[in-house]
Structure 1
């Protein structure tokens, strides 16, 4: 179990991070409250429902990251700000992080620590797992290349299951492939430096490369990169390492896309 304790708070102003009062009544907890750790604080402007499946999916993420990526993932303080009303959420993001407007959830860090802002939808588990992946990687590993940071977040937003397929990306990738104007290009993807510059196709391609590498022996390229970053050691970028082994990795990624699309 992850070791989280829940604080349910009422936001006294839209997007407010201060003036938060603990609810006096018993609320249905998202995270089991008897665990004696306080790294995750949920601030919501509504009473959270009791969802055992959702709770387990979110709680399992840190262990999932650690075991799959073969690197320690320590508890880190994270505040999660949840909004029932989409307009309230969009107002907060537009005012505070205008470059991230239009996203269902965002992860940011500032002087007060790590924060996740999200709108409560049917996708909330996916969104929380995605943004919490960013938060754990940022705190435990450090800054990663954008394509890998987003690729891992897209990979781990799906709870552990056979194949670990993010089915939202397959039609996007196959449609672009069939239209003839796109092919996987890791060098192009690795040149992107800001999340707001990434398109839906870029996120899908980041997931594809990550899934492709994680599916076989090339997984070591990712785990070694994370271990080196954790130790603050310099190693060759992953695209360069791939070229040492396979000069036509784009063809391999394209064939991999075709293979997983027919499963």
Structure 2
């Protein structure tokens, strides 16, 4: 199947027969919109508004699967993923509050249930970042399996930024630098590895997950990440990656702290 978006520009409220779409009762004013002629693909975009024509944004989302496969050295199958987009943030929040109350407050979410794989998001200036983040979760889940939460979120934070020199997340670096300079925080892989629910993670936890992933992907530990993902995709039993990292460097927290200082000065 070729890469691309199947843009199904239909009112969400008109899709009562599809699982996970119509979430409240409302009389639609229009049953469908004109479908543009574009290439087929695994991403099915279901929106309640006509999507703007933005070639750059489309390519940044479409290129993610190849980015993941090349960087992580794991084949990423062309799995079908439904992306539910809402123009109005209040409509999006109402959907999340009704169906996924534990995820209330998030700009976007990845859901896998009996009806398939879904991404929910609302249109904003951060929509490309949000889609790349949640689609990273989706592709990893479908092609690798369940990962430790810190690594799963760290990879999503890492890949939400389109490929660029340094691959720095502009949101997390100043957060981490300020926390380090305050003297009240240091990277702590063991603590981070104990977190097992996304809703318990703070903004600093997400930033630290990104830091550990960026540190691992930028140095000699990169092979640990790619080997772990390959083993998971083969359903092999392996030691926790945090133990493997510490075995390679007992002072890994110090190394991560020094790494943060280095990249913050670039």
Under TM normalisation by the shorter chain, which class is it?
A: over 0.9
Partner of 1:171: 174
Name which of 23, 37, 42 aligns with 2:32: 23
**Hey, what's the Cα distance between the residues in 1 that align with 2:22 and 2:201?**
33
Give structure 1 regions of 4+ aligned residues with deviation exceeding 6 angstroms.
13-16, 19-22
Partner of 1:189: 192
Give the drift of 1:3.
Answer: 4.2
Partner of 1:30: none
Give the drift of 1:35.
Answer: 2.5
Name which of 130, 134, 137 aligns with 2:137: 134
Task: Tell me the TM-score normalized by structure 2.
Answer: 0.92
Alpha-carbon contact 1:41-1:78 (below 8 Å) kept: yes
**Is residue 248 of structure 2 the alignment partner of residue 239 of structure 1?**
no
Name which of 249, 252, 258 aligns with 1:249: 252
**Is residue 208 of structure 2 the alignment partner of residue 205 of structure 1?**
yes
Name which of 102, 111, 114 aligns with 1:111: 114
**Hey, what's the Cα distance between the residues in 2 that align with 1:41 and 1:197?**
30
Give the drift of 1:36.
Answer: 3.8
Q: What RMSD over aligned residues (CA atoms) do the two structures have, in Å?
A: 1.9
CA gap 1:200/1:77 in 2 versus in 1, 3 angstroms: same
Alpha-carbon contact 1:155-1:164 (below 8 Å) kept: yes
**Hey, what's the Cα distance between the residues in 2 that align with 1:12 and 1:181?**
48
Secondary structure in 1 aligned to 2:13?
coil
Give the drift of 1:26.
Answer: 4.9
Partner of 1:66: 69
**Please, which moves more after superposition, 110-119 or 4-13?**
4-13
CA shift digits 1:98-130 (9 cap, x unpaired): 111111001111110111110100000000000
Give the drift of 1:96.
Answer: 1.0
Partner of 1:146: 149
Partner of 1:159: 162
**Is residue 126 of structure 2 the alignment partner of residue 123 of structure 1?**
yes
CA shift digits 1:63-105 (9 cap, x unpaired): 0000000010001111111111111111111111111111100
**Hey, what's the Cα distance between the residues in 2 that align with 1:22 and 1:59?**
27
**Hey, what's the Cα distance between the residues in 1 that align with 2:154 and 2:207?**
8
Matched length: 257
Partner of 1:9: 10
Name which of 198, 203, 214 aligns with 2:217: 214
